[in-house]
Amino acid sequence: MATPPALSDADFQAALLRLMPRGRVWRNDPGSNLSALAGALAPSWTRNTAAAAQVLIDASPATTQNLLVEWENSLGLPDPCTAPNPSIQQRQAAVQAKFGARGALTAAYFITLAAALGFTITITEFSPYTVDMPCDEPLLEPEWAFIWQVSAPQITTFYFSVEESSVDDPLETYDAGELVCRITQDAPAGTLVLFVFS
């Protein structure tokens, strides 16, 4: 939300009157025509000052409001990962996530990416079983070296409802479609991501 302007209409009216020439013709008392003219012009200056202050807010993808569409166009949003009919907050989160995405092959990068989208996740990486491991370790095949698991405990699950769903709706859907898409899209080539929602 934009911060209120530091100067009000009355401040600009007073400033305009102080800039006028002095003399009997240039009466600036509250009932004069000159004072009324300055009062009519002052709101334009207040709006311009507020708009200039808003540019500083819109310069950041995390807080942009008026320039949200320009940020989206610059970053190629909406894209196939964008949720249908996103809210302003979801659009801002997508802009922030894509702008801040520098790409990495670490779990920390994907945890940060999910956090920018509003999700708290954990990532589990697997290791194939070797003879050096304790006996109680799972017997994982060598292919498990290329599989990692994303767990998101707070995901909302929507179940099929006879009263509200149509016949072509899935039995379960999650409110994490964008999370799944973005992580899958950025996952290192040759890896498989498993998503676990509680």
Where are the domains positioned within the chain?
9-58, 60-97, 101-197
Q: What is the pLDDT of residues 59-71, one digit of tens each?
A: 888 788 888 999 9
Q: What is the mean pLDDT of residues 62-83?
A: 86
Whether the pTM exceeds 0.75: the reply is no
Q: How far is CA 141 from CA 78, 130, 160, 189, in A?
A: 39, 9, 36, 19
pLDDT in tens, 98-139: 887 777 788 888 998 888 888 889 999 888 877 787 777 777
**Rounded to whole angstroms, how far apart are CA atoms 91 and 95?**
6
Number of helices (H), then strands (E), in the chain: 6, 5
- Residue indicated by tokens 């070296």: 145
